[in-house]
Amino acid sequence: MDILFYHPTFDTQYWIERLQQALPDARIRAWAPGDNRPADYALVWQPPVEMLSGRPGLKAVFVLGAGVDAILSELEAHPEMLPVNVPLFRLEDTGMGRQMQEYAVSQVLHWFRRFDDYQTQKQQGLWQPLPAYSHEEFTIGILGAGVLGGQVAASLTAWGFPVRCWSRSRKQYPDVVSFAGNDELPVFLKGTRVLINLLPNTPQTVGIINHALLAQLPQGAYVLNLARGAHLEEDSLLAALDSGQLKGAMLDVFSREPLPGESPLWAHPRVAITPHVAAVTLPTQAIAWIADTISKLEKGENPGGQVDRLRGY
């Protein structure tokens, strides 16, 4: 069994050594331009077109992350890159769920305990206890109810917050109110105090967090974007913050990355920024999952994590 590996920033040698330990019978090599030798599986992130093109023996491709929008866009532009009958897999969790939980819970608690307001008072030299928020009035709404959305929802219900989720098709999670489809989106938004975005990046979700959507949130709501920058219209966000419709925003992803220095988001006093670090690929968990999935494929089984190219996730 031959496996190709390509990632533009990962420590390739480290990954190959760990993969070899997990799959001792496999022949694993880093791809380099001109390498047209046969391969059964490819592990990739933003691969060049020539890496995957012309490989009739390829059994599956693994994307080394949870998002597949980049490779799907590449496949749309270059359909010859990968035949439609070759399965494409993404990392559904492999430690990302825990990281998303940590990020979301820490930020929700930051807003709930009014640490943003106390930081403003500190800058003014003002010592003034503020009225506490109640859990009942601090409803968390999660856009996207997949694997990561479900785990984030569970972590927030454990803190006593009312939690609701919205997705294309209805999902059911314990103690979470479920909404689905465009018709139910306004009702979902109306009661959401903190909007957390964990949607997949598809043509249908690009620009979904816009002026019209933000206007349906309660005044003084918060936005936490953990999915993709393409979901959020940044001008609409800034306008909602300046009008008081939104009280604050925490952004981990952006339409352009790195975020350009001239972006007004940097200077806005009620926008917090992290550099796309909410959930990163953890080698140990990812390699164990990939090895297990390849073993199942070799046995003729149908493991989870396969991408539906039409749906985009």
Return the active site residues: 228, 276
CB atoms within 10 A of CB 218: 13
C-beta neighbour count of 79 within 10 angstroms:
10
- Single-letter amino acid code for the residue at 114: R
Cis peptide, bond prior to residue 203, ω within 30 of zero: no
Q: Are residues 255 and 229 in contact, defined by beta-carbon separation less than 8 angstroms?
A: yes
Distance CA 299, CA 166 (A): 36
CA 207-221-139 angle, to 5 degrees, is 105
What whole-number distance in Å separates Cα of residue 27 and Cα of residue 4?
A: 9
| Three-state DSSP class for residue 179 | strand
